[in-house]
Amino acid sequence: MAIRIFITGGTFDKEYNMLNGELYFKDTHLQELLEKGRNTVPVEIRTLMMVDSLEMTDEDRELIAYQCEQSEEDQIVITHGTDTMSVTAQLLSERIKNKTIVLTGAMIPIKFGSSDGFFNLGSAIAFAQSLPHGVYVAMNGQYFKASNVRKNRQTGVFEALQKI
Amino acid sequence: MAIRIFITGGTFDKEYNMLNGELYFKDTHLQELLEKGRNTVPVEIRTLMMVDSLEMTDEDRELIAYQCEQSEEDQIVITHGTDTMSVTAQLLSERIKNKTIVLTGAMIPIKFGSSDGFFNLGSAIAFAQSLPHGVYVAMNGQYFKASNVRKNRQTGVFEALQKI
Amino acid sequence: MAIRIFITGGTFDKEYNMLNGELYFKDTHLQELLEKGRNTVPVEIRTLMMVDSLEMTDEDRELIAYQCEQSEEDQIVITHGTDTMSVTAQLLSERIKNKTIVLTGAMIPIKFGSSDGFFNLGSAIAFAQSLPHGVYVAMNGQYFKASNVRKNRQTGVFEALQKI
Amino acid sequence: MAIRIFITGGTFDKEYNMLNGELYFKDTHLQELLEKGRNTVPVEIRTLMMVDSLEMTDEDRELIAYQCEQSEEDQIVITHGTDTMSVTAQLLSERIKNKTIVLTGAMIPIKFGSSDGFFNLGSAIAFAQSLPHGVYVAMNGQYFKASNVRKNRQTGVFEALQKI
């Protein structure tokens, strides 16, 4: 059975617009990263939206939840902006119980040489195949349960709300 | 508890010698990759050797097995050349039963822009935290049990000996 | 005799701030680029400022002109933001007649994989050694006289005001 | 008038063969580099051969010289392996007097992150436009006359035979 990958945007997929010096979304880099990673796990990729997660609306999250519910695959990876990744994870964990859903993203755009995104994607695809049903955030080499994670805005790393 | 990382060489860590045009080993790139991945999983890194896996001897494998046995950490990642990765995995799986050991590597050196190594490392660190005790190869986004994996020399991808 | 290199900022040296998603200046990348280019031309590097060229003031340009006048070296390369590169070039060409001054920069930050900066730097250092006294802009593989160049804001490329 | 670019191979264009771990030639990277450099100089590119310069024969050099003679463009850039670059330059300088010919290459393949090739290409294109008729080697940010250059095998840098 394939892994379902939903793309929602976030720093991961941002590009540099050389005409105005701003970062923007064009296309996702998911497919080229999977080829570079020489991935052979069957995947079904769908782009749901391309938004900065600070601008993600309730309707956007409703769409993500709906797509996760409807997915035939029970292993799902979602690329997502880091700023509200834990909010979406929390919502999904309340709605979907019978699948393994892993949210991941990047602190630095893939198109920058120093991006963490390729590493995060490798870990997310691994966690989606190996963790029990539930909703998780995969960042910084770790996985966090949706109910127990936040992004530390000072350091830029994800951490558990409480040690377990 | 930390993840133990053992480095043994392989394509992963090969560099280009500009004076004679050959690939060689200098230092491992593990630490810089973990920083780039913004990894916060505690790790203990030890370089056991820096060899092409086609030149790995029985004594080299004995050393790797011994180090795995002695490791206090029960989650272990080993970077290894791909050509004989399954041989080492097989040996370790006969010797060590009470740990989760994940071998990984790269088809293209990390120093090449097109390397798969950063993706593989992300997946290996994830699998080491999430799979039950046993010995595994993590390549191509997948994990394979040590007893059921080979590298396909024609395609350069890892595959299960038999579908399970 | 060495080439004098003055750094003034611009897209060339911009970095990605992963905490707020904005581009900013930290340190120049000139030295590491010269090493990567295996440059053996003697150079004297001085950072005059680190600014976006849209924010460059008359005082900033006065400082650049003064430094060019005072420079013992008569081959000078200046890294500069592209938006007002031709303005600074024009000013310098009115003030300094006995040196070869080449302004260059980048449309995409060096830290992005797709940056043009390394190529531009190679061409600027070459033009500084081979063109007669005068002030030039070196971008897009070409050189333009200071009195006959503008950046086309629609296409992002530099072009001559009039064909010569 | 365009610059003529002749491709002959060399480290510049070498790729990594992940199936056997060896470096080999596939296609040239010239076109993608010119796009990345946002080059707007008109160019006419022709691949003459794809060889390691240690294996370049007298017939190969004869072909290069013939192509340079026949070229309508009088500004020519040749990408070439570094090991015998000065040999080819010497031959061309004896044969062709009425053109500016610049040989360049790379110590590290373009496909490696640490390659000097993009920088060298920028400098070669600049020198081809700005130097008087003659044959030159453009490496390490410098240009050398064909009659006064050698590659130092110990350090990997090009140097003048005698200071001038």
pLDDT for B164: 56
- Does A111 score more than 70 pLDDT? yes
State the DSSP H helix or E strand holding residue C25, giving kind and residue range, or none if neither.
strand C22-25
pLDDT interval class at D1 (50, 70, 90) = confident
Q: Is B18 inside a domain boundary?
A: no
Give yes or no for a contact between D117 and D94, defined as CB atoms under 8 angstroms apart. no
Range of the domain at C140: 3-10+23-77+95-159
Q: Is B35 inside a domain boundary?
A: yes
pLDDT in tens, A70-110: 999 999 999 999 999 999 999 999 999 999 999 999 999 99
pLDDT in tens, C35-68: 999 999 999 999 999 999 999 999 999 999 999 9
D91 Cβ contact partners less than 8 Å away, ≥ 6 residues apart: D61, D65
pLDDT interval class at A113 (50, 70, 90) = confident
The mean pLDDT value of chain A amounts to 96
Q: Is C89 inside a domain boundary?
A: no
Q: Is A46 inside a domain boundary?
A: yes
Binding-site members of C for substrate are 53, 82-83
D143 contacts on C by Cβ (under 8 Å): 126, 129-130
pLDDT for A128: 98
Provide the number of structural domains found in chain A: 1
pLDDT for C164: 57
C5 Cβ contact partners less than 8 Å away, ≥ 6 residues apart: C30, C43, C44, C45, C46, C76, C77, C78, C79
Chain C / chain D CB contacts < 8 angstroms: 114
Three-state helix/strand/coil letters over chain D: CCEEEEEEECHHHEEEECCCCEEEECCCCHHHHHHHCCCCCCEEEEEEEEECHHHCCHHHHHHHHHHHHHCCCCEEEEECCCCCHHHHHHHHHHHCCCCEEEEECCCCCCCECCCCHHHHHHHHHHHHHHCCCEEEEEECCEEEEHHHCEECCCCCCEECCCCC
Please name the residue of chain D whose CA is at the shortest distance from the CA of residue B81.
Answer: D21
Phi, psi of D22 (to 5 degrees): -105, 160
pLDDT for A14: 95
The angle formed by the CA atoms of residues C104, C105 and C109, to the nearest 5 degrees, is 165
pLDDT in tens, C76-126: 999 999 999 999 999 999 999 999 999 999 999 999 989 999 999 999 999
- Does A41 score more than 90 pLDDT? yes
Neighbours of B, requiring at least 3 CB pairs below 8 Å, are A, D
Give yes or no for a contact between A139 and B143, defined as CB atoms under 8 angstroms apart. no
Q: How far is A59 from chain B (nearest CA, A)?
A: 31
pLDDT for D8: 98
Q: Which residues of chain B have pLDDT under 70?
A: 163-164
Q: Is B68 inside a domain boundary?
A: yes
pLDDT for B74: 97
pLDDT in tens, D65-99: 999 999 999 999 999 999 999 999 999 999 999 99
pLDDT for B118: 98
Q: Is A149 inside a domain boundary?
A: yes
Q: Do B126 and A124 touch (CB under 8 A)?
A: yes
Q: Is A153 inside a domain boundary?
A: yes
- Measured distance CA(B94)–CA(C60) in Å, rounded: 70
Of C21, C109, C111, the CB nearest to A11: C21
- Among the listed residues A8, A11, A28, A79, the single catalytic one is A11
pLDDT for D164: 56
Residue D11 known to be catalytic: yes
pLDDT interval class at A162 (50, 70, 90) = confident
Give yes or no for a contact between B86 and B152, defined as CB atoms under 8 angstroms apart. no
Residue D28 CB: number of other CB atoms within 10 A? 19
Q: Is B136 inside a domain boundary?
A: yes
Say which CATH number the domain at A57 has. 3.40.50.1170
- Does D163 score more than 80 pLDDT? no
State the DSSP H helix or E strand holding residue B42, giving kind and residue range, or none if neither.
none
Q: Do D122 and C119 touch (CB under 8 A)?
A: yes
* Positive or negative torsion for Cα C133, C137, C139, C143: negative
B79 Cβ contact partners less than 8 Å away, ≥ 6 residues apart: B5, B6, B7, B8, B9, B10, B12, B13, B28, B30, B103, B104, B105, B121
> Which whole-number Å values give the CA distances from A164 to A144, A145, C7, D124, in the listed order?
11, 11, 50, 60
pLDDT for C120: 98
pLDDT for A163: 67
